[in-house]
Amino acid sequence: MAQMQRTIKKAASLAGTGLHTGCQSTITFTPAPINHGITFIRTDLENCPEIPADIDHVVDLQRGTTLGIGEVKVHTVEHVLAALAGLQIDNMKVELSGSEPPVGDGSAWPYVQVITDAGLAEQDAPKQFLEIEHPIAYSERDRGVDIVVVPSDRIRITFMVDYKNPALGTQYTSLVDLDDEFVEEFSKARTFCFLTEVEELLDANLIKGGSIDNAIVILDEELTPDKVARMRDAFRESRPIFAGKTGIMNDTPLRYYNEPVRHKALDLLGDLFLIGVPLKAHILAARSGHAANVALARKIRTIHQKQLISHKYGPKKPVGDFLLDINAILKIMPHRYPFLMIDRVIDIEGSNRIVAIKNVTINEPFFQGHFPGKPVMPGVMIVEAMAQAGGLLLLNAVENPDNKLAYFMGIDEVKFRKPVVPGDQLRMEIEMISFKRSMIKMAGKAYVESKLVAEGVFTAVVVDKNS
């Protein structure tokens, strides 16, 4: 039975203080239509600008996840995203009266509570899942970060951290079923940091809305009277601040025996929500944080975009080490014999890069006259092959590509390095330089085996077919 998309039944709000800005703000969750996705709306700014909650709008990861468009930003949204991901919500408008949502107790629970009290509503459209078909790996060896994503029938997370601190040590957790486990076992896990990090954040003029109630502080250095005085002043705290006996400031009791690693899993869930489509995958992570999580999300998003292209134009299960075959290319490209210069697309990376193949045979009509007895592929045809590969990349980067054409307006810095002859296989690699409105600039290179045979810079415009 298909799972249906979800939104909230009615508007629900929560007010409080932003963690880093210290500003008072109100967050309001409101219903959104089918296929709307998640958007943040800055109601405190003129025209109430909207920011989609997706990986393309992540602008900062220093102390949390910040989304933005131009000068408009929303800070520290990871716990909001974790709440939406854990409750499996697809469509929501998240209105904010400031630049940062209220921090609450440092977990996703305050948002979960507000949303579940308002109720969830199923919508008359099935969810679209991203199913991981092959293992994916991401590593940062210098930081000891390792993440592996493998196929699964649902979203699962296995997380491990190991800290050289007796209050934490090595911790492990596993989230197997969102319906059964998320609300009670993970959403209440609070953020944590080390005392040295508190000092660094205060030095950076951050955590203006911090308190002893919205984070677990692990003692990794001596809690001196000077540090206590500084925190009491910064947090406007009248209650005692002390070292205690557990290695946790004020001996704050944990909600779970492994609360820190559960919060790490919560952060991962929220960061992967930025892919923009729910996952069916098992994520096994060691020591990852927001930066690594978002890097993984970008990698998965690229794979998802390739799947969408392949499923739209080709067989649902691609055969061989390529993305699009000639039958798929014929569905996209307007060119036909004898002027179609692309035989296969090896790879597409969003709107950034394409790799395509042209098999050069003696049957090409231009070899009859170029040159008799010494067949050499005309340089203009090599340029045309690169341009067509660039056209494929352009049509993947625009909305409604079936109704568009790409016209090339200029070709600069063209150089030919080596003759191309029958039996060669041209490998075109095209990279986007700039994309402003309908004007595009790309750099192209053509190779035979590993040798560069031609290169150039292309300028093009995308127009409607009927214009």
Distance CA(220)–CA(252), nearest Å, equals 15
Q: Would residue 134 show up in a list of annotated catalytic residues for this protein?
A: no
Q: Which tokens is 129 given?
A: 């899942």
What is the separation of C-alpha 84 from the centre of its chain, rounded to a whole number of angstroms?
A: 16
Question: In whole angstroms, how far apart are CA 289 and each of 64, 190, 295?
Answer: 9, 15, 10
Cα torsion angle, 429, 433, 439, 445, sign: negative
Q: How far apart are CA 393 and CA 75, in angstroms?
A: 33
Cα torsion 349, 158, 77, 205: sign:
negative
Long-range own/partner contacts, residues 240-247 (CB < 8 A, 24 or more apart): 241/212, 243/219, 246/167, 247/165, 247/166, 247/167, 247/168, 247/218, 247/219
CB-based contact 342:392 (threshold 8 Å): yes
Give the DSSP letter string of 10-22. S-EEEEEEBTTT-
Q: Which of 263, 290, 304, 311 is catalytic?
A: 290
Tell me the H-state helices in 87-224: 109-118, 178-181, 195-203
Q: Contacts from 62-69 at CB under 8 Å and sequence distance 24+?
A: 63/20, 63/201, 63/206, 64/19, 64/20, 64/290, 65/270, 65/271, 65/274, 65/290, 65/294, 67/40
Quickly tell me which residue has 């820190």 as its tokens: 260
Q: Which of 36, 57, 335, 370 is catalytic?
A: 370
Number of CB atoms found within 10 A of residue 102's CB: 24
Question: Mapping DSSP to helix (H, G, I), strand (E, B) and coil, where does residue 401 land?
Answer: helix
From first CA to last CA, the distance across the chain in angstroms is 44
Can you read off the two tokens belonging to residue 408? 């090339």
Residue 109, CB-side half-sphere exposure with 13 Å CA sphere: 16
Establish whether 304 is a catalytic residue.
no
**Residues noted as catalytic:** 290, 370
